Every structure is written in C-alpha cells, then in structure tokens.
Amino acid sequence: MEPRARTVALLTPTGSDGTVASRMLDRVGFEARVCQDMAATVRCIADGIGVLVVAEEALRPAAREALVQVLDQQSVWSDLPVIVLLEEGELSGAITPGVAQLAARGNVTLLERPVRFATLVTTLRSALRARERQYDMRDSIAERAAAAEELRESEARLRATVQAAPYPMMLHAEDGTVLQLSRAWSALTGYDEDELTTTGEWARRAYGDDAPDAEAAMRDDLARHEPSEGAPRAFGERVIRTSDGSTRVWEFHSVLLGRLPDGRRLRLVAANDVTEFRRLLQSERTAREEAEKANRAKMDFLAVMSHELRTPLNAIGGYTQLLELGIHGPITEPQRSALARIKRSESHLLGLIEDVLNFAKIEAGRVTFDLQPVLVEELVGEVDALVEPQMRDKGIRYTRRAAPAVSVLVDQEKTRQVLLNLLSNAVKFTPAGGEIAIAFAARDHDVDISITDTGSGIPLDKQEVIFEPFVQVQRAYTSTHGGTGLGLAISRDLARSMRGDIVVQSEPEHGSTFVLTLPRGE
C-alpha cells in the first residue's frame, strides 16, 4: 500500500483535540496528520490521504461546501472515506441538513460522540482497507492505459516500417482488413492503397478468376499458422496481375504478429518479386538447350565426317602398300621414297581422324567401359615400352619409380590410351636432352600416376583450357609437331568416366607435371 494511502487526516476545530487524537492514533500504528482548517484539509487531500476524520463542528457551511466540491472532483477511481464525528446524542435524533448533504455526496461514515477508541480504530482500519483497494484500482487503470499506449505506438511503428519497406509488404487483420501496404507493393502493381482496403479486393484484382482459390489459401494459411506465431512461412509463388494488365511472379512469405487491441490477429505478408529472375532463368535454359542441340549437331557432323574420311584414307593406305610391294610392276627408288611419304602422311591423317572420332563418341556417351582391377605396374609397363624408342631418338632421360603393388579399377585399354597420350605429349613438348619421370602416390581410395617433364611448360592462364577440345597453346610449334588439341580433352573425359581425373601443374620454361588419379580397385 502507498504510504499516503495510510495517512489519517484529522480536522478538528480546536487544535489541541486534534493533537491528542493524533498521538493516540500514532500509538496504535496510524499515521495521523492534523489539519488546522478546511484549506489545509483540501491540500492534504490533494497530496493523497487514506481517510479524513472531521468533527461536525468543523463543518461550517463554507467549509462544508469546499469539502463537497473536493469530493465531487475526485478521479473516477477515488471515493475518499470521510468519518464525521457527530455531536453527542445526535444520531438518535435528526441529523443536521449540512451533514446529511455531505453524507449524500460522499463515502461518509457517521460516529456519535463519545466514540469508543476501539470503535474509531476499527472504523479507520476498514476505511483504510477500502482506500487501499481504490489506490490499487488507480494503479491498474494506469497500467492498462500505459499498455494500450504502448500497443498503439508499436502498431504505428510497425505500420511505418511496412510502409517504408523496399519490397512488397502488406499488413492485414485476420478478417481481411488491410492496415498497411508498402509503397513498393503499390509501385509494382499499380494498385493504390485506397483500392486495396481488403485482402478480398486484392485477390479479385491480382488473381481474377483464381481469386476464390487464393482467398481460400490465405484462410488456410491463417488456420495452420496459429501454433507457429512469429515464425515466417513460405507461402509459395503466384502469378499476379497488375493494374496495366501485365503479370508478375511474386514469391510470398507470411507471419502472424499477435493481435490488435480488439483481439483480431495480425498477419504480415511479404513478397519477393522474382519476375526478372524467372525470366532470366527461362531464357538461360532455352539458350542452354539450343547450345546443347548445336553441340550435338556438331558432334554428329564430326563423327560422320571422320567416319567417311577413314574409308578413302584406308584405300589410299592399302593401294600405297600394294604399289610398295610391286604388285603393279617394279618401282624406282624415288617412287619408293614418295610412296613412303604418302604412307606417313596417311597414317598421320588417320591418327587425327581417330582422335576426332573418339572424341565425338565420348561426347555422345557412346563409349562403354569395362572396369576391371589392373595392377598399376602392368598399366605403366605396357605404355612406356611404346614411347621409349621416341625418347631415345630425342636423347631424353627417362626415369620410372617402382610402382606400388596396388591395382586400380579401370578399363585397361582406355587407361593405356590416356597414359600414352600424356607420355607422348611429354616427349613432344620436351626438347632434346630433357628429362621425363613417372612417379606414384597410393592413398586409401585412389592412386596418382604423375608424369613430369622438363619441357616448355604451360602458362597459368592456359592450364585449364588445354583440357578443352581443339585447344593448343603453341600453335606454331604444334603445327610442326602435329596433333589436334583433342588428346587431353579425350583423356580427361575418359579418366572422369572411370571416376578418376587429370590435373596439371606447370611452370613455363621449366616443365609440367600431369597427374592422373585413378580409383583403387582391390
């Protein structure tokens, strides 16, 4: 209880009465305050007191009027208890009109003198208890008012936030009343705030014939939302119609945000305008499909062309051989050397055509793999035997570390083709007197076979593109050394199709290391 609410104000015509009474009351635990006259009493009441005790003789007409006026002007929660001490014998007779008037206007208790002290104490206690409840009421009224004010302020803040949001946002009550739209909502749709006062109006404009469906979905969302208040829910993508008749794609989210003071639930709907994104995605998809179609056509053309070229080339090779063998009569030495040149060119051309054909086949997914565990040693041994003569011719020093005694799960024929390609490249791009070395690293799940050369090396910005078809770094150089720029593309495709890979590390002028990784196959 507030200290002021415990105060007993005493108004007695003679100051000494008041002082005596005040002392007695203090002794039994009351906090008495003596007022000299009605003006002092009115000030006391304004300060806040628990109960007022007045002797009847202090209620002269003017003073009584002042008191009645003060009592009339109390706040709604206040009804100050007033105890009037009447003249002796008065209660049994008629009450003076003045006292009756006061009793009619206020919360007045009449006690006839002489008053027993115990009676006065009990009366004061119950008056103070009643007064305490009035102060409680005052506090709860104040609290409620503060809470209502806070709610109003937070709603105003929410509305301001929604209005300023740079993307579409709508705040609405569960009955569909739109409380706030963001400016972005109106800007993107062309619908004005006054056109969209309810969610129903929005649905009719934005969804046309689908409006009932959209409204049902909103209601359903509200119903299902209940347990997860405050947690945003994805509400899906919808095509909306704008005021100029065009359409946009919006991706909706919604969240329940408590209740309005009148009890209606509040729902915040936020949308992400994904129109451009969807459009880009669609055109990207179309472009990719077209590119893939063009690529397939190119591959088909390459496959058919290589195939068609191979037949006459084989005929050229065959007839050259027949001429060389003298089937059509004896040939002179210059003719023999010319035929040898024809033969070399024919096999070179055939090699290129085989490359193109292989590449086209891999790209078309027409290559099948026969995966078997093969010892690493076996794979490498077969291949380096093929390139050793060329290395010897060029005076290249060749070293091979001992292969680990593990096997890899590969298609033996195709892996050999990959290794041969890497080794031939090493020989091709390493000048006379250089070095080539093969090393191994076995891990839990795979094995690295690395081929290091001291050749020309590859610039950093070319180290990825050399794996693309038809890419050659040193055109001038390779034109004299042959090649199509397909070897690495084919090799990496083959390696990846067997769950392996090829990577390169290289420093121009110092050489390159190509690492072929293959899965282990115990």
- Contacts with ligand ADP by CB under 6 A lie at 421, 425-426, 429, 453, 455-458, 466, 471-474, 478, 483-489, 512
235 or 429, CB closer to ligand ADP? 429
- Specify whether the backbone of 511 is left (phi greater than 0), alpha (psi in -120 to 50) or beta: left
Residue 413: CB minimum distance to ligand ADP, A? 18
Task: Report the C-alpha gap between 148 and 112 in whole angstroms.
Answer: 47
Give min distance, CB of 338 to ligand ADP, in A.
Answer: 27
Which H or E run includes 444?
A: none
SS (H, E, C) 381-421: HHHHHHHHHHHHHHCCEEEECCCCCCEEEECHHHHHHHHHH
Q: Least distance in Å: CB of 437 to ligand ADP? A: 12
Torsion of CA 155, 156, 159, 163, to 10 degrees: -170
Smallest distance from the beta carbon of 372 to ligand ADP, in angstroms? 26
CB of 295 to ligand ADP, least distance (A): 18
Helices 412-429 & 487-497 angle (0-180, nearest 10) = 150
What is the distance between the alpha carbons of residues 318 and 322, in angstroms, rounded to a whole number? 6
Nearest to 114 by CA among 86, 92, 82: 86
- Reference 374, options 363, 383, 366; nearest CA is 383
Q: Which is nearer to ligand ADP, 7 or 456 (CB)?
A: 456
| CB of 292 vs ligand ADP, minimal distance in Å | 23
- Cis status of the peptide bond prior to 114, with omega within 30 of 0: yes
- Number of neighbouring beta carbons within 10 Å of residue 235: 19
**At closest approach, how far in Å is the CB of 466 from ligand ADP?**
4
- The H or E element spanning position 455 is none
Cβ–Cβ under 8 Å, residues 80 and 49: yes
**Is the CB of 483 or the CB of 521 nearer to ligand ADP?**
483
Give a three-class secondary structure readout of 224-281.
Answer: HHHHHCCCCEEEEEEEEECCCCCEEEEEEEEEEEEECCCCCEEEEEEEEECHHHHHHH
| CA–CA gap between residue 470 and residue 488 (Å, rounded) | 9
Closer to ligand ADP by CB, 393 or 464: give it.
Answer: 464
Query: What is the token pair recorded at 468?
Result: 């693309």
Indicate the residue among 200 and 483 with the shorter CB distance to ligand ADP: 483
Least distance to ligand ADP, CB of residue 503, Å = 12
User: Least Å distance between CB 307 and ligand ADP?
Assistant: 20
Nearest to 30 by CA among 104, 107, 99, 120: 120
Are 365 and 434 in contact, with CB atoms under 8 Å apart? no
CA distances from 509 to 76, 139, 421, 433, 512 (A): 98, 90, 21, 14, 9
- CA separation (Å) from 464 to 195, 302, 477, 492? 59, 24, 19, 11
Nearer to ligand ADP, 82 or 357 (CB): 357
In angstroms, what is the minimal distance from the CB of 403 to ligand ADP? 21
Minimum CB distance to ligand ADP smaller for 449 or for 473: 473
* β-bridge pairing 31-35 and 501-507: unpaired
Q: Using alpha carbons, list the distances in angstroms from residue 134 to 131, 140, 522.
A: 5, 10, 91
CB of 318 to ligand ADP, least distance (A): 26
Smallest gap from Cβ 348 to ligand ADP, in A, equals 12
**Least distance from ligand ADP to the Cβ atom of residue 182, Å:** 57
